[in-house]
Chain A
Amino acid sequence: MPSSPEEKIKKLGKKLGANLVGIASVEDINKYAPEGHRPDDLLMGAKSAIVFAGQLTPKGAWHSKGYQVHHVNRSFGIPYRNRIAFDVALYIEEKYGYYSALSSGGNISAKLCAEMAGMGTRSMAAGIVLNKDWGLLNFGVTITTMPLKPDGMIEEQVCPHPLCVKRWEKEGTTFCLDTCPECLTGGIEDGRIKWMRFNRHVCATRAQTRSINSFQRTLLEAINEPDLEKRKSIIMGTFFGSVVNTVSTANSMGQCGECLRGCPICVKARTLKPKWRPGDPDK
């Protein structure tokens, strides 16, 4: 039976669907977050951030030669994780009497909250937070004025994986850098990330191919097209149709995961061990 508020909150988060729940102190987050993007900018007097992490997809989604299958299988999407954060916020208000709100919309960095809650560390791949057991995760965040015991950052860096360090020493690259040099550059020294650069503007065209941004860009293209038949083709065609579909279903995040497809941390996290074999007499 969980006894402390921290244990009860974590248990509730998991019951609602999170795989991991961590707690960060606002004081720790504010050491890195700029003014205007701090939890206490969102909620006056905020003391804690509770981070809910979810496994991205069923493991089989990455065992597909279809590049888009993992996106279709993303199970911990924004509406789902916000629902967990929302329910936990209500629980804290009703049970403990502390103001709470979910953090949504990009003003607060969920990645920073996750790092401070000890759920993983930044990776060479776009500074994405990787967890050593779960690999790539999605995060939802509840901000509360309730002072909770923080989990704290983990000391050991998850990335680079020893296989990547070996490859770096041999070839001067890693799985993620080699896969997406347009988005990622970086270097490793003494087995640790020395530096990295993330071209988010390039990544956006892949990770959010169908999104509000591509909707706006394509619409402008159509408006500027003087040839009526060409304009019709842009607007009525399959690409713009699929953009509208994605935007209308709020499913625009995470459309590319190619930099992490060969990442040894993620490969390990999404590898199943068979629990039953045909003809096994003991099962």
Chain B
Amino acid sequence: MGRYISPDIYNKYKQQVLDMSLAVQNYVGIEQQRVESCLTDAEMAKKLGLSVAQVREIRAIAFNDLHPADMWLDSDEEKRLKCQRYFKER
């Protein structure tokens, strides 16, 4: 199972990878800031001492892992309410 990321490495680095990824994007003016987040897999790998492939796997899994399945399911209702509010306030 060598091509898969080990749970130990995943759990150790998932938060750092998420923080450094595009999951949260900061801008000054309209310019994206790429010091602490919005880094590429290669840039993260260099900072963390991991391989690019390891970072890519951690990032892909962590992004899906971040929110419970219900959050995806419930987002339809969120959108419906926001849309309803817009037409109500017009």
Contact = CB atoms under 8 A, between A and B. Distances in A.
B72 A205 contact: yes
A206 B40 contact: no
A201 B24 CA distance: 7
17 contacts: A34-B40, A36-B42, A67-B76, A67-B82, A157-B30, A179-B85, A193-B27, A195-B27, A195-B28, A198-B25, A198-B27, A200-B24, A206-B78, A213-B63, A217-B65, A258-B86, A261-B83
Interface string B51-90: 0000000000001111101011101101110111111000
B29 A205 contact: no
Secondary structure of the A contact surface, majority rule: mixed
A67 B79 contact: yes
A209 B72 contact: yes
B88 to A, nearest CB: 10
A217 B28 contact: no
Interface of A: 32, 34-37, 65-68, 121-122, 126-127, 157, 179-180, 186, 192-202, 204-206, 209, 213-214, 216-218, 220-221, 239, 255-256, 258, 261-262
A239 B74 CA distance: 10
Contacts of A32: 32
Contacts of A66: 83
Interface of B: 18, 22-30, 32, 34, 39-43, 63-67, 69, 71-73, 75-76, 78-80, 82-87
A213 B63 CA distance: 8
A122 to B, nearest CB: 4
B83 to A, nearest CB: 4
Given A197-B24, A217-B64, A36 B40 contact: yes
A97 to B, nearest CB: 33
B86 A262 contact: yes
A193 B66 contact: no
A67 B67 contact: no
